[in-house]
Structure 1
Amino acid sequence: MNLIIQGTEIENSDLRAVAKLAGASQIERITGEAFRMLDAEPHPEIESFCEETALDFAFVVPGKKLTDFGLVAMDMDSTLLAIESIDEIADLHGVKAEVAAITQSTMRGEINFAESLTRRAALLKDLPENALQSVYDERLRLSAGAEKMLQRMQSVGIKTMVLSGGFTFFTERIKKRLGLDYAFANTLDIQNGRLTGHVLGNIIGATGKGEILEQVRNELGLSKEQVIAIGDGANDLKMLGAAGVGIAFHAKPVLQARATYCLNHVGLDGVLNLFE
């Protein structure tokens, strides 16, 4: 196996220590923040050492190329974006603390997503529609490395998709801004320029994310092994389950436990370093 080590600041002494634990035969530099250790073997102390030194690690099969994939599916809030958009909307309505508490409980898997979104949307009742544009213009931030990752994937022909339990107001604008191929999310009900506190149609939650990913995957004629899914919370479990490679990005423990790889310290461009 190869062992990929990534971090924002990597000390040579830490690299050597990991290589010794893994019995690696050679260390190759990928970028200034990523290194590949050849002929590495798992060791029980690698995980704890990397946690202590703020390093991400991943054991990967040699020869696995980025061009082996045909689709990447990404969660939006706290994954593709460095914000929780619904929390920022709530802040403009004076209910951020209440909404954020529900958001975090949902991400930990403590509340059913449909119930969670229904409760959070109700708290936004009577908020002016233009508040959504204010959040997009003033508060929206992409996660570190997002554009670099997407540009590289798009350059090799990988289809890109955002699949969110959030709102179409944001996913449609992000789709256009980043040149994504697909965008799926929930639609807020707006009447007379104000939010009604309701969500239109069937709510896209954990199950919906998995089903939509499978549908798009099949339409593209791709196998499960040709799909990468990236998320951060319990709502992304079924989406990652519908992909050959599931990546937990700065994620809750419930998702990290089920993911193929975990990135806790580097940006989304760290995904690129997992493949040759």
Structure 2
Amino acid sequence: MNLVIQSALPLSASHYAAFATLVPGPQRVTPDAHAVHIAGVEPSPPAAFVTYCTAHALDYAYLAPGRQLSDFGLLAMDMDSTLITIECIDEIADYCGLKAKVAAITEASMRGEIKDFSESLTRRVALLKGLEASALERVYEERLTLSPGAEQMLAGVRAAGLKTLLVSGGFTFFTEKLRIRLGLDFTRANTLEIVDGKLTGRVSGEIVDAAVKARTLRETCAQLGLVPERAMALGDGSNDLQMMAAAGLSIAFRAKPVVRHAASVAFNHVGLDGLLRLF
């Protein structure tokens, strides 16, 4: 296997020396010096290596030799706390003084403590009843920020020929704005019901839960003539697990423990552009 070690900052000579001792093998450094590839490594990291990476905020992953980004045809992404830094529903709730209450439900759902995502979303959206719909625009304009490395990642995957899918348990108001802003190919999310300029506290249509996310990945692959093994899936919460399991490569981004443990790769420190340095 190839071992890929990454840092948010350029790696130093002392890092390379430590790797040579902890995981011997030929080293290939990426042009920006943020990652090093070590070939011919057994996929069982020594305890001292894990301790070193933890102490120095380094991410590491094992990939099959010769794997290239262009081997894939689709990148499927979660939105909230993945492509963007916020949970949109929590920020919407802040405009009616209920952020703490809604955020607690969101956090429990993403950790997998609330098993029924649809029930969790229904509960949270109901708390928004009567809020002026203009709050959605304020969240987008004032609070929504892309995660570090997002635009670089998207540029890189497009250059390699991949299509992009943003599939979210959040809301179409945000996914559609991001589709236009970032040039995404496909989106799927929930629609907040709005009547007379106010949220009704309900979602229209089928709720995008874990099963729907996985189904959307498979359907998009079929539309593109791809087998699901040629898709990558990127997420952070338990609602992403089925989608990630359906893909050929799964990446947990600053994710909940249950997601980190299930994913092929976990990014706890580097930005989303770390995806490009895997290959």
Taking structure 2 as the reference length, the TM-score comes to 0.95
Where does residue 278 of structure 2 map in the other structure?
Answer: 274
C-alpha contact 1:108 1:234 (8 A) present in aligned 2? yes
Where does residue 46 of structure 2 map in the other structure?
Answer: 44
**Letter in structure 1 aligned against 2:205:** G
Where does residue 108 of structure 2 map in the other structure?
Answer: 105
Where does residue 14 of structure 2 map in the other structure?
Answer: 13
Report whether the alignment pairs 1:73 with 2:76.
Answer: yes
- Rounded Cα–Cα distance in structure 2 between residues aligned with 1:261 and 1:19: 22
Query: Which of the numbers 197, 216, 224 marks the counterpart of 1:193?
Result: 197
C-alpha contact 1:25 1:40 (8 A) present in aligned 2? no
For 1:241, what is the secondary structure of its paired residue? Answer: helix
Report whether the alignment pairs 1:264 with 2:268.
Answer: yes
C-alpha contact 2:229 2:246 (8 A) present in aligned 1? no
Superposition map of 1:113-262 within 5 A: 113-262=117-266
Worse-matched range after superposition: 16-25 or 110-119: 16-25
Residues paired across the two proteins, number: 275
Please report how far the alpha carbon of residue 146 of structure 1 lies from its aligned counterpart in structure 2 after TM superposition: 0.3
C-alpha contact 2:217 2:228 (8 A) present in aligned 1? no
Residue-by-residue CA offset, 1:161-217 (whole Å, 9 max, x unaligned): 100000000001100110000000000011110001111111111111011111111
Where does residue 90 of structure 1 map in the other structure?
Answer: 93
For 1:137, what is the secondary structure of its paired residue? Answer: helix
Runs of at least 5 residues in structure 2 that lack an aligned partner in the other structure = none
For 1:256, what is the secondary structure of its paired residue? Answer: helix
- Rounded Cα–Cα distance in structure 1 between residues aligned with 2:111 and 2:12: 33
Taking structure 1 as the reference length, the TM-score comes to 0.96
C-alpha contact 1:144 1:267 (8 A) present in aligned 2? yes
Please report how far the alpha carbon of residue 147 of structure 1 lies from its aligned counterpart in structure 2 after TM superposition: 0.4
Where does residue 3 of structure 2 map in the other structure?
Answer: 3
Please report how far the alpha carbon of residue 119 of structure 1 lies from its aligned counterpart in structure 2 after TM superposition: 0.6
For 1:257, what is the secondary structure of its paired residue? Answer: helix
C-alpha contact 1:30 1:273 (8 A) present in aligned 2? no
- Rounded Cα–Cα distance in structure 2 between residues aligned with 1:43 and 1:118: 42
- Rounded Cα–Cα distance in structure 2 between residues aligned with 1:234 and 1:48: 27
For 2:233, what is the secondary structure of its paired residue? Answer: strand
- Rounded Cα–Cα distance in structure 2 between residues aligned with 1:202 and 1:224: 23
Please report how far the alpha carbon of residue 26 of structure 1 lies from its aligned counterpart in structure 2 after TM superposition: 2.8
- Rounded Cα–Cα distance in structure 1 between residues aligned with 2:241 and 2:194: 30
Instruction: Give structure 1 regions of 4+ aligned residues with deviation exceeding 3 angstroms.
Output: none
Please report how far the alpha carbon of residue 60 of structure 1 lies from its aligned counterpart in structure 2 after TM superposition: 1.3
- Rounded Cα–Cα distance in structure 1 between residues aligned with 2:251 and 2:8: 18
Please report how far the alpha carbon of residue 134 of structure 1 lies from its aligned counterpart in structure 2 after TM superposition: 0.6
**Sequence identity percentage:** 53
